[in-house]
Amino acid sequence: MAMKYNWDWSVVLCRAPEQAAAVTGGSGAQLPGGVSALAGGAAQTFDTGAHCAQPYFDWIVSGLGWTVVVSIFAWMIAFTVGSVVGVARTLDQPWVRRGATAYVELFRNVPLLVQMFLWFFVVPELLPKETGHFLKRQLPLPEYWTAIVCLGFYHASRTAEQVRAGIESIPRGQTYAALAMGLTTPQVYRYVLLPVSYRIIIPPLTSDFMGIFKNSSVGLTIGVLELTAQSRQIAEYTFNIFEVFTVTTVLYMLITLIVSTIMRFVEKRLHIPGTIALGGN
């Protein structure tokens, strides 16, 4: 390959001088827990070079942290709003159903990036003046809140579709039986429909949860310094793109692996005895 490129894996281990000095050296496998020890040892050798102008390792860690925080908060919104909208789509009142359907269509048919811009640039202008001013000037970390809300409402439309599919997969007879026993409609959902449908939809909910982690990278367009944003910044500072992007890609894969492992455990724990196990692969 006629490629001019200076490989240097140590850039991803660059730390701030005082922090690097504080950490005593150590070796170990490059596992989530072992990274800091390894980096501490390596940084003492490498942080004098010109390429270590910035603590790139700390940038990656902070980016990873924001990716996780933003995604988890966004998932909470998505799960709550999505459950309400999903249930609303199965209710008998036509106007409730229509409203919920409109929500799903609206949020599914506009690209996430456009929604991000709408929440960040347009919504504060359309709100009353004081509220808009608060959002733009007084709220601390406005980009992060906006990204969380935007991701949450965007993914809620997907969660809603899954909740609806889960509820609709339960035979109507169960609803009739519950109503005949004297349960009210909220009780039917609380005790009969939702406990079963949530369990059925764990696999699609899992892949959507992974989708939130991936989509949180869209937050970089409004200034959220999450993992992808930090890795681009390091790539632009050092030109060691292969090293930086490899580390970032591996971190995203690890997130996917961890989420799918946890969710498989949850699925097993909540599995209803006597039913076919879903998501066999």
Binding site for another protein (CB under 8 A): 1-5, 105-106, 108-115, 117-118, 121-122, 125-126, 129, 210, 213-218, 220-221, 228, 231-232, 235, 241-242, 245, 248-249, 252-253, 255-257
Least Å from the CB of residue 118 to another protein: 6
Residue that the structure tokens 């390596």 belong to:
42
Residue that the structure tokens 């066999």 belong to:
280
Q: For another protein, which is the closer residue by CB, 129 or 172? A: 129
Q: For another protein, which is the closer residue by CB, 35 or 255? A: 255
Query: Over the range 243-273, which residues count as b (16 or more CB within 10 Å of their CB) and which as e?
Result: bbeebbeebbeebbeebbeebeeebeeeeee
Least Å from the CB of residue 219 to another protein: 10
HSE (side-chain half, CA atoms, 13 Å) at 216: 30
Query: Among candidates 84, 77, 40, which has minimal Cα distance to 58?
Result: 40
Q: For another protein, which is the closer residue by CB, 36 or 146? A: 146
Least Å from the CB of residue 4 to another protein: 7
Q: For another protein, which is the closer residue by CB, 194 or 224? A: 224
Least Å from the CB of residue 245 to another protein: 5
Q: For another protein, which is the closer residue by CB, 102 or 177? A: 102
Least Å from the CB of residue 113 to another protein: 5
Least Å from the CB of residue 256 to another protein: 4
Q: For another protein, which is the closer residue by CB, 5 or 176? A: 5
Least Å from the CB of residue 69 to another protein: 16
- Cα–Cα–Cα angle for 141, 144, 147, rounded to 5 degrees: 145
Q: For another protein, which is the closer residue by CB, 11 or 38? A: 11
